Structure formats: structure tokens, C-alpha cells
Amino acid sequence: MVAMVAVTSAVLLIIMSARFVRYLAEAAVGKLSGDVLLWIMFYRLPGFFELILPLGFFIAILLAYGRLYVESEMVVLTACGFSTNRLLVYTLIPALFIALVMSGISLYLSPMGMNKAQQILSDPKNKNGFGTLVPGRFQVAGSGRVSYVEGLHNHKKDMDNVFMAQVVPRSKGKAEEISLIFAKTGKIVEKEDSRYLELGNGYRYVMKGNRLDYSSTGFERFGTRLDEAESVLEDSSELDALPTSALLASSSLAHSATLQWRISLSLIIPIVAIIALSLSKTNHRQGRYVKMLPAILIYLIYLLLLNAGRGAIEGGKLSPVYGLWVIHAAFLALGLAMLYLPGAWQRMRYNRNSRMQVS
């Protein structure tokens, strides 16, 4: 258990650090509000656990049992009548408990956290270009608009010395336009689920096409509606944010694939426990880490096949009736074969040699 906690914590720290650096980079250029970074990481935490916890348990079994084999303690236990079946039962007891915990994470906590994170990212205050402006820095929005403010006040609603530049593409009957706006003040106003930018005491310059002449207009008050299409959305699928109850009530292939994936995250744990138990058999000359690489490869192949199966179900190439259960059955059979076949083969050879000696 200590090894599982250590491995899981180390991998979780690496993944969270990488994701946090990515969010920081987006916040630094104004694509994401820096005020919500910690909340997003908090709500994404159950999603990180989904794949890390089975891996941590898998490696923990390899390390713990590998040490028993290397130090010949497993030989002593076997000589005292500690059978493979008994060892398997003692291994599956914590595996089933962790699988139960994982089912709560994958079926409830992770979708809930993903939904909360998407709500934060869908909030206009966090996703809109002006809602994420950084004072003293130019920001390019999704529509190609360049914005700059010298100062922000009142929770980023009041602005000082605003600059905006935008190229309006050529349309039917209209030439390309370049619009430049300078204003001493700016303010974001919310009205009826929409957000507007009101600028005060400034000038607007418009240049058409490649001509050098331009038109200028002074204004005391200038307003424009902020385009919600400039939002920065999370790269996760909307299916991952749906509650499990909605997936159960739906007959959609995509929903069936997502439901089977969530259940699979719990089924992985006892199956990889059997595989790890079979791979942990080693001796003091080989060392406890000799089978770590093939074990990790088997785990990765397992996950890749499950992910490919999920995509095949969504695309209608694989029937949900068989779905991911076939993959689980195949790896369960692999684990049991790796665990019992070597011993059965040794008993067959021993019995054959005994009969030959008697005859």
C-alpha cells in the first residue's frame, strides 16, 4: 500500500505539474484568467486519478512481490504451504477495494469535476478576450483582434488607455478594412447574458484596402458587443462531463462507449493485479526490476486497446454488446495463463519424469 501511494503520488505530481504549466502559459498570454487556475486543477484532479491509480497499484504489486522473490521470502512461504491461489486471493482483496474506490471516481467524481471545470471555462468572465487581459501586454484574440490596456481596475471591468486593432476581411462588395481604436477609458458592461465594451474619449481610424488614406472619427462614447466565439475552451470531450445517469438513459453509441470506458477503469485494477502477480516472479540474480519494462508495455497496450475500442464503438465499427468486455476478457485470460501455466507445465514434467523413473 505504501508503494502504491508513493508511485501514484509521484506520477500524479508529474502530470499535474505539466498541466499546470500549460495553464500558466495560457494565462500569461491572456487566453485564460489566472484567477481560476487552481479551481480548474482542483476539479480536474479526479480525472487525473483515473489512469494513475491503476498504474500505481500495478507497479506497487510488482515492487512488493518482486522483493519477496528476490530475497527468497516467497520460496519460504511456498515451502510452508502458501499456494498460488492463496496469494491470488490476498492480492485481489485490496484490488477489489481499490476498484470500488475507482468506480466512485470514474462514475461520479470525475464527470462532476469535468462538468465544474467546463462551467468555469464557459463563464464569459474567464473565457472572453477582455476578461483575460493582462495590463501592459498585447493580446491576440481568436478573431485576430489585437488588444492592449495600460491598466485594469474594479475586477478587470474598468480599463485605462485602451488600444484595439482588427482587420475586417474582404466581403462581397466591400474591401478589406483595418480598424484602429484608441481610447482613454474602457468598461465591460453585462446586459441580458451579453457583454459589451464601452470606450470613452478616443479616436477610431479606418483604412480600406491598401490605400494610404484613412478616415478618423472622434468619440466620447463607443460601444461594441464582445464576441463569445473568442472563448478558450478546454480540450476535453463534452462526453466526459456528462453524468453517468445520462449515459445509462441513452442508447447513443458515443454514450455507450463512454459508459463502458468508465466501467473499464474499475475492471482494469483486478486484471492488472493478476498480471502483476504473474510478472513479479523473479530471483535474486535477475533483480526486482527486470520485468518492469515488459510490465509497463503490457499495461500501455491494455490501455491503448481500450481507447481504440472506445473509438470503434463510437464510430459504429464495434458492437456495444461485445465492446470493451472482449478486451478485458482477453487480458484476464492472459494474466491467468501467465500465472498458472508455468506451474502446470512444471508439474507435468515432474509427473512424466517420475513415471519414467518408475518404469
User: Residues 125-134: pLDDT tens digits?
Assistant: 665 555 566 6
Position 221 pLDDT exceeds 60: yes
More confident residue, 267 or 155: 267
Query: What pLDDT, on the 0 to 100 scale, is given for residue 31?
Result: 63
Q: What percent of the chain has pLDDT over 90?
A: 24
pLDDT for 39: 84
Q: How confident is the model at residue 4 (pLDDT cuts 50, 70, 90)?
A: confident
pLDDT (mean) for 216-225: 84
pLDDT at 195: 72
293-301 mean pLDDT: 90
| CA 196/CA 19 separation, integer angstroms | 32
pLDDT interval class at 149 (50, 70, 90): confident
The stretch 5-25 carries a mean pLDDT of 77
pLDDT score, position 231: 43
pLDDT at 233: 42
Does residue 256 carry a pLDDT above 70?
Answer: yes
Q: Which residue has the higher pLDDT, 217 or 272?
A: 272
Rg (CA), the chain: 30
- Region 8-13: mean pLDDT is 79
Task: Give the per-residue pLDDT at 313.
Answer: 93
Smallest CA-to-CA distance from 280 within 270, 294, 266 is with: 294
Q: Give the strands of the sheet with 214-225, arranged side by side.
A: 139-140, 146-153, 158-168, 177-191, 194-208, 214-225
Helix (H, G, I), strand (E, B) or coil at 200: strand
Q: How many CB atoms are located within 10 Å of the residue 117 CB?
A: 22
Q: What pTM does this model have?
A: 0.70
DSSP readout, 64-103? HHHHHHHTTHHHHHHHTT--HHHHHHHHHHHHHHHHHHHH
Which pLDDT does position 12 carry in this prediction? 78
Nearest-angstrom CA–CA distance, 304 and 327: 11
Has residue 283 got a pLDDT over 70?
no
Q: What integer pLDDT is reported at residue 232 of this predicted model?
A: 44
Q: What is the predicted pLDDT for the residue at 111? A: 92
Q: pLDDT at position 349, please? A: 57
Contact of 288 with 63, CB cutoff 8 Å: yes
Nearest to 276 by CA among 27, 69, 2: 69
Of 198, 196, 248, the C-alpha closest to 219 is 198
What's the mean per-residue pLDDT of the chain?
Answer: 80
Residues 53-106 pLDDT 10s: 898 899 888 888 888 877 777 777 777 877 888 889 989 999 999 999 999 999
For the ranges 140-144, 212-216, 225-229, the maximum mean pLDDT occurs at 212-216
Residue of higher predicted confidence among 10 and 115: 115
Q: What are the C-alpha distances in Å from 349 to residues 242, 292, 354, 358? A: 55, 29, 8, 14
Q: What is the pLDDT of residue 147?
A: 82
The 3-state DSSP class for residue 284 equals: coil
Q: What is the pLDDT of residues 304-322, one digit of tens each?
A: 999 999 999 998 899 988 8
Q: Is the pLDDT of residue 236 over 60?
A: no
- The C-alpha atoms of residue 36 and residue 23 are separated, in whole angstroms, by 10
Could you tell me the sign of the dihedral formed by the alpha carbons of 241, 243, 247, 249, in that order?
negative
**pLDDT value at residue 274:** 94
Domain extents for the chain? 2-124+235-354, 130-230
pLDDT at 196 > cutoff 70: yes
What span, in angstroms and rounded, lies between the C-alpha atoms of 59 and 66?
A: 10
Predicted local distance difference test score (pLDDT) of residue 44: 86
More confident residue, 351 or 204: 204
pLDDT of amino acid 355: 55
